[in-house]
Amino acid sequence: MKYIVKIWAIISFIIIIFAIIFIFAFIFFKGFYSINMNFIFSNPAGIILGKEGGIFPAIVGSIYTTFISCIISSIFGISSAIYLVFYNKNKFINNIFDIIFQCIAGIPSIVLGLFGYSVLVLYMGFGKSILSMSITQSIMILPFISIRVKKALNEFDFNIIYSSYSLGIRKSYTIRKIVLKEALPDIISIITLANSLSIGATAPLIFTGAVINSPVPNSIFKPSMVLPYHLYILLTQGISENNAYATAFILLSIVLTLNLISLFLKLINNKKYKTDSDNE
């Protein structure tokens, strides 16, 4: 029986790997030949907008929106993780936070988009803008950052922390200079992965600030083009299949780069941890 389970696990692994490679290879092959410098660094053009020209405003808008959303979610996500691990002693409060984050993580992205439209665009008066998109995206990736940072902090050797306390060193100083310094590669890796999750989201942006055409954004209070929404428009409106694949290629390239950076940081941290363990 165990051999059947083992064989099934191997077959499943091969199928999953093959499917991932096929998806990436198909999009890269279809999109690569449609890409040139003009496509990357020019604005959309053509009688039907997007049929010609490029996607530079969408690239800048996506990076702009993702960067701001990750700053917002990182501040609250890391702060909540530090509070739950080092300051909160009430298990009930810890469970409440876990339930809240799990509920947020389970909310459909289109519902988050509707929330952003109702609260940020209309009620708070931000209008359709990069700020509205960024805040909505930050809510989406907040659980991702907080849960994983909390796990990284819990894996820290608490004997070092207690030794620091016994020497009379303040808790805030210990957390800032010892714990966070040691966990920094993991935290950066988590934030980088959150970036790759955020930059590919479409539904939260449709209602909050994504537009079909705009110049390169110069203010967070203005709407902007973003890559996933531009790809959605190109495909659903039948504007240009070649440009759609090229846009998908650029988007996947950015996501893949972010994931590779995250993996690289993780490997460096693991290597450092292994070296420190060997020295001990």
Find all residues with CB under 8 Å of 223, minimum gap 6, and list them. Answer: 127, 128, 129, 130, 209, 210, 211, 214
Interatomic CA distance for residues 79 and 66, integer angstroms: 20
Report DSSP state, residue 213: -
CA 240 to chain centroid: 28
Per-residue pLDDT of the chain (280 residues; tens, 9 = 90+): 677 888 888 899 899 889 888 888 888 888 777 788 888 888 888 766 667 778 899 999 999 999 999 999 999 999 999 999 988 888 898 899 889 998 988 888 899 999 999 999 999 999 999 999 999 999 999 999 999 999 989 888 888 888 888 888 888 888 888 888 888 888 888 888 888 888 888 888 999 999 988 888 888 999 999 999 988 888 887 777 888 888 888 888 888 888 888 788 777 766 665 555 455 5
* DSSP three-state, residue 210: strand
Every domain of the chain and the residues it spans: 33-279
State how far the alpha carbon of 191 is from the alpha carbons of 5, 75, 139, 270, in Å: 36, 11, 14, 17
DSSP string covering 57-83: HHHHHHHHHHHHHHHHHHHHHHHHHHI
Class (C level, CATH) for 33-279: mainly alpha
Kindly report, residue by residue over 136-169, the tens digit of the pLDDT. Answer: 999 999 999 999 999 989 888 888 888 888 888 8
The angle, 0 to 180 degrees and rounded to 10, between the axes of the packed helices 56-82 and 241-279 is: 30
Interatomic CA distance for residues 139 and 72, integer angstroms: 9
CB-side neighbour CA atoms (13 Å) of 126: 23
* DSSP three-state, residue 9: helix
Report DSSP state, residue 118: I
Interatomic CA distance for residues 200 and 185, integer angstroms: 23
What pLDDT shows up at residue 275?
58
